[in-house]
Homo-oligomer: A and B are copies of this chain.
Amino acid sequence: MTLHTVSELLSNNNILPEVEIKGWVRTFRANRFIALNDGSTINNIQCVVDFEKTDETILKRITTGAAIHIKGELVESQGKGQKVEIIVKSLVILGDSDPETYPIQPKKHSFEFLRENAHLRTRTNTFSAVMRLRSALSFAVHKYFNDHGFFYMHAPIITGSDAEGAGEMFRVSNLDAKNPPLTEQGAVDYSKDFFGKETNLTVSGQLEAETYAMSLGKVYTFGPTFRAENSNTSRHLAEFWMIEPEVAFMDLAGNMDLAEDFLKYVLKYVLTHNREDLDFLESRLLDEEKTKPQAERSEMSLIEKLDFVIDNNFKRVSYTEAIDILRNSTPNKKKKFKYIINEWGTDLQSEHERFLVEKHFKCPVILFDYPANIKAFYMRLNEDGKTVRAMDILFPGIGEMVGGSQREERLEVLKEKMAALDIDENELWWYLDLRKYGTAVHSGFGLGFERLVMFATGMTNIRDVIPFPRTPQNAEF
């Protein structure tokens, strides 16, 4: 007899005379009803023990968290709340769980407490649902790109180039940490380091992905990226996963279409494949909302939010239009914004983005054609000479979900921009080669995967959507 999973048995419509299952006890009540979970689904299967025929020492060991092995018969359930249940014929304790010390009690734990027990938190309904959704979203990402003719490329994690300037980087080294070798000039002599030069953890695989787009056509990366920024907020991680598609011959409009289609696809995917986990998270959120004052509760439930994104066109607004809207907005006039919008050219703060998305348009917004001087060097300069073909996609409650651009494909323009920013051409000789040999319009975007998981699960702290979060002062596990 092969082992069944809870998920299989619960979706089974027939009774089965012989079933075998292994899992962990969630609860045991009335010395009779075991709620058993094996991680395959948010739902438990009820296993009914005949306590009169079961050794009392065994009954005492059926505690929350214990691993057990059950053989029995799958029957229609007499009780409420489940269609089927198992009548236990044989029960073996595989691994005990001392109810006095087991950290995951059958009660509500704070997310802070569970973060400190991140190795056990997927034994709770909330975190098992979140991580199953994270897995399903990952698969949806790969499936979308694969079905659309993209090739997955693994961008390097350790990089010798620090040209992108997307943020502070972590140094990777195996020089003696206390007494590094020094050059004659007294600087650390990285020529003696493992790679013969100074190396860091990547902040983005985009530049490398461009080399693949300019040969394979449509590519994407999906891998870890890093920021050594001392941001102790609910939206920042030092280590996070990023998705970066890059497409040859695609312009900024095509880039917007791709990002919108992609986001709708992956959200639709989990609505179809992970409905039970979403239902659970939706009701969790509703419970949480009840503790808030009416005015702070959200207008839509979790699933309504996902449906709303899938069913509606994202609003496309140029930076210039957005500045006009903001300048004339009530919070700007009444000086309710921390940063008052006076003139064209200022960078938007999160308060402005939230106003546009949550108050003004009330839907996902794609802002495009930003001022050149607030965006990265590789973005395509528009004919106006002052804006670049950049886009940011802003989501309600999340802020920036996607940042992308059409890339500067003209060698001379790119060189000028690099020179203006003091970026060494010798550092990026290979990137310039793409503009020397067979250059063409191309575009791409980056999407922080954890932001997507937050949106899809309704979790509000980014540390709760990645298995083992890395943040300032914390690299536990």
A167-211 Cβ-contact flags toward B at 8 Å (1 or 0): 011111111011010100001100000111101010000001001
Indicate whether A109 reaches chain B with its CB closer than 8 angstroms. no
Q: Contacting chain B: which of A154-162, A259-267, A300-308, A310-318?
A: A154-162
Identity of the chain B residue whose Cβ is nearest the Cβ of A120 in the assembled complex: B433
Contacts A139-B146, A208-B467, A467-B154 given: A194-B249 contact, CB under 8 Å? no
Contacts A173-B170, A177-B171, A180-B177 given: A67-B439 contact, CB under 8 Å? yes
Indicate whether A22 reaches chain B with its CB closer than 8 angstroms. yes
Residues of B within 8 A of A180 (CB): 177-178
CA distance in complex: A134, B211 (Å): 16
Identity of the chain B residue whose Cβ is nearest the Cβ of A472 in the assembled complex: B194
CA distance in complex: A195, B237 (Å): 12
The minimal Cβ–Cβ distance linking A412 to chain B, given in whole angstroms, is 13
Indicate whether A462 reaches chain B with its CB closer than 8 angstroms. no
The minimal Cβ–Cβ distance linking A151 to chain B, given in whole angstroms, is 4
The minimal Cβ–Cβ distance linking A244 to chain B, given in whole angstroms, is 13
Contact between chains at B156 and A468 (CB < 8 Å): yes
The one of B102, B118, B157 that contacts A157, using a Cβ cutoff of 8 Å? B157
Q: How many residues of A contact B (CB 8 A)?
A: 107
CA distance in complex: A32, B228 (Å): 55
The minimal Cβ–Cβ distance linking A80 to chain B, given in whole angstroms, is 27
Identity of the chain B residue whose Cβ is nearest the Cβ of A175 in the assembled complex: B177
* A residues neighboring B (CB under 8 Å): 3, 5, 7, 22-25, 38-40, 65-67, 94-98, 101-104, 118-120, 122-123, 128, 131-132, 134-135, 138-139, 142, 146, 149, 151-161, 168-175, 177-178, 180, 182, 187-188, 194-197, 199, 201, 208, 211-212, 215-218, 223-224, 226, 228, 230, 238-239, 241, 248-249, 409, 430-431, 433-441, 466-468, 470, 472-477
